[in-house]
Amino acid sequence: MSQLEFKRFRRLRNNPIIRDMMRETHLSVKDFIYPLFVINGEKIKNPIKSMPDVYQMSIDVLVEECKQVRDLGIPAVILFGIPEKKDEIGSDAQSENGIIQRAISAIKQNVPDLLVIGDVCMCEYTSHGHCGIVCGNEVMNDDTLIHLSKIALAQAKAGVDMVAPSDMMDGRVAAIRQTLDTHKFKNLPIMSYSAKYASAFYGPFREAAEGAPKFGDRKSHQMDYANSDEALREVEEDIFEGADIVMVKPAGAYLDIIYRVKNEFGMPTAAYQVSGEYSMIKAAAEKGWLDHDKIMIETLTAIKRAGADMILTYFAKNMATILNKG
Ligand code: PBG
């Protein structure tokens, strides 16, 4: 055996201290954006069956939750509204008194040091559950842009810190940017769900946000999960139209997309570890088949390692608690 020549990688894995020193990727509480679901009423905290530890909350409960989130050091939340009444055009989303507008101003009043992001989409607000204006079986692109702009503007007027269009209509970043700019919101950033795939991983979210389409699916506007070059074209276009942060969604099964987007554009890049990714871990852990915390940490580390600068995740509070303990 005297002739063997090889490198001994194990030298740098000998003990926890040296392993720690060699670690390339570190999660921080500051990486996380926490998604929250807000509903009308008072003192309401409805559990979501398919998403353990996630709730629909009325505004009073939401504000208390936001204080906890802030105290944990999590910098931002993203809000999804469930309106009392849904209609064809999702009126509640663009109304001054809409659930999301009231939630935004309540949080900004009571927890001003928490960054509030508004999800801009119509599916939670429309009677048909689609992300835009429907004509026959079609989700109309250009007609929808007008409404998305109104939703973004209503959120801006309520005091939101950032808007995040998740609808995947073409041209929505341009439309929203123009509307915000002409209404004195030039400094309000847009985080665009740029490469958002038509994914079965959104299943549990649709229970949480009550936004499942009543017919058809979202394949005419969300991306085909088989495509990767197309994601770069989507992201490039959103940057051109004025997106300040670009997002890839889902995250765990799309690490290659996160990697390519970050490498190609060097933009602030967000990744959304979506409801299905969360629920799979919860379910397996409940069965005792996987170690909950270890899987949580491993998946989030992988998403960051792939290139995400920020991660939207239902694990944010859980993860922050662990990180704060050191
Ligand atoms: C649309 C929207 C969806 C999600 C975020 N924004 C659902 C969809 O596109 O059908 C999914 C998030 C998740 O699954 O956690 N408003």
Q: How far is the CA of 202 from the centre of ligand 1 (A)?
A: 6
**312 CA: nearest ligand 1 atom:** 15
Answer whether 205 contacts ligand 1 (Cβ < 6 A).
Answer: yes
Looking at residue 202, what DSSP letter applies?
Answer: G
Average pLDDT for consecutive 10-residue bins of the chain (326 residues)?
A: 90 97 98 98 97 97 98 98 95 96 98 98 94 92 96 98 96 98 98 98 91 90 97 98 98 98 98 98 98 98 98 98 95
Q: How far is the CA of 294 from the centre of ligand 1 (A)?
A: 25
Answer whether 300 contacts ligand 1 (Cβ < 6 A).
Answer: no
pLDDT of residue 318: 98
Nearest CA to ligand 1 atom 8: 202
Q: What CA–CA distance (Å, rounded) separates 76 from 90?
A: 25
Q: Is the dihedral of CA 280, 285, 291, 292 positive or negative?
A: positive
Answer whether 119 contacts ligand 1 (Cβ < 6 A).
Answer: yes
Q: Express the helix, strand and coil content of the chain in percent, nearest 5 each.
A: 45, 20, 35
pLDDT of residue 10: 97
**122 CA: nearest ligand 1 atom:** 16
pLDDT of residue 200: 96
pLDDT of residue 208: 87
Q: How far is the CA of 114 from the centre of ligand 1 (A)?
A: 22
Nearest CA to ligand 1 atom 11: 202
> Domains in the chain, please, with CATH?
24-324 (3.20.20.70)
Q: How far is the CA of 325 from the centre of ligand 1 (A)?
A: 31
Active-site positions read 196, 249
Answer whether 123 contacts ligand 1 (Cβ < 6 A).
Answer: yes
Q: How far is the CA of 205 from the centre of ligand 1 (A)?
A: 6
**274 CA: nearest ligand 1 atom:** 15
Q: What CA–CA distance (Å, rounded) separates 65 from 60?
A: 9
Max Cα separation, the chain? Answer: 79
Q: What CA–CA distance (Å, rounded) separates 79 from 104?
A: 8
Nearest CA to ligand 1 atom 6: 166
Q: What CA–CA distance (Å, rounded) separates 17 from 22?
A: 9
Question: Which distant-in-sequence residues (6+ apart) come within 8 Å of 50 by Cβ?
Answer: 203, 204, 207, 208, 275, 279
Q: Is 118 exposed, middle or buried (0-12, 13-18, 19+ CB in 10 A)?
A: buried
Nearest CA to ligand 1 atom 7: 202
Answer whether 275 contacts ligand 1 (Cβ < 6 A).
Answer: yes
Nearest CA to ligand 1 atom 12: 274
pLDDT of residue 207: 86
**278 CA: nearest ligand 1 atom:** 15
The preferred substitution site among 167, 202, 247, 281 for testing ligand 1, maximizing ligand atoms within 8 Å of CB, is 202
Instruction: Give me the residue label for tokens 């429309």.
Output: 126
